[in-house]
Amino acid sequence: MRILIVEDEKKVAKALKTGLEDEQFEVVLSETGEDGYFLASSGSFDLIVLDIMLPGRSGLEILSALRKQQIGTPVLLLTARGTVEDRVRGLDGGADDYLTKPFAFAELLARIRMLLRRGRPNEILRFKCDGLEMDLVTRKVVRDGVRIELTPREFELLEFLLRQQGQIVSREMLACDVWREPHRVVTLDNVIDVHIARLRQKVDQPGQLKLIHTVRGAGFVLGETEP
């Protein structure tokens, strides 16, 4: 899941980015209102953490411009002042939640998870194959009850394979959907293969049923049975 953080205080921004990346989220950071608005209006994020006091456009201006454009990405506002007016304006303007600075990272994480869950009532947020389970909200992956630590890219790769469970996933598809490179190139193929190999080492431990299969000349399949 991709989170956009729009925050001009470098220290806070960096701490948030590191913390969320540790929780397996893909994080994009923006330090100005203009840049934040530009990124947010792409609509390609699952959640936006938006500071109110920003150089250029304020968080509230960004929020209202996004909602006018029918971009409904959940927004968690950060307010330094914590004044009633700010909160009311934010919530009236289409914010989904707010947090007053200074806040504990654990609280931010709890709010983010709640918003991500709430925003997708009909979407599948959990995948399972044999003893392998992935929870998209808590970002946890376990196999036979044992936690598997993945990098954000490995997480996305496994999520993609689990979504297409039992079907062949080509390197073109992975290049496009996981690496977001529309054109397949040989160097990227190598990168994909390296990531698949690392993922396989983590997911398929010795003695466990093999779940990630290579289909020669075609790509990969995740499933309980060999393709």
**Residues in the site for Ca ion, rule: CB under 5 A?**
8, 51, 53
Q: What minimum distance in Å lies between the beta carbon of 8 and Ca ion? A: 5
- Of 25, 19, 57, whose CA–CA distance to 40 is shortest? 57
Residue nearest to Ca ion (CB): 53
Smallest separation, CB 30 to Ca ion (Å): 12
CB of 100 to Ca ion, least distance (A): 13
CA–CA gap between residue 21 and residue 156 (Å, rounded): 13
Contacts of 167 (CB under 8 A, 6+ apart): 221
Q: What are the structure tokens assigned to 12, written together?
A: 């806070």
CB nearer to Ca ion: give 51 or 86. 51
What's the token pair of residue 214?
Answer: 């290579």
Q: Which is nearer to Ca ion, 3 or 129 (CB)?
A: 3
Q: Which two tokens stand for residue 152?
A: 């954000």
**Closer residue to Ca ion (CB): 5 or 115:** 5
Whichever of 31 and 172 has its CB closer to Ca ion, that residue is 31
The torsion defined by the Cα of 37, 41, 46 and 50, in degrees rounded to 10, comes to 20
User: Which helix H or strand E contains 124, and what residues bound it?
Assistant: none
Strand order in 97-100's β-sheet? 26-30, 2-6, 47-51, 75-79, 97-100
Q: Which is nearer to Ca ion, 49 or 115 (CB)?
A: 49
Q: Considering beta carbons, is residue 58 or 165 the nearer one to Ca ion?
A: 58
Beta bridge partners of 141: 134, 148
The 3-state DSSP class for residue 150 equals: coil
Q: Least CB distance from residue 51 to Ca ion, whole Å?
A: 4
For the bound state, the minimum distance from the C-beta of residue 23 to Ca ion, rounded and expressed in Å, comes to 23
> Residue 53 CB, nearest distance to Ca ion (Å)?
4
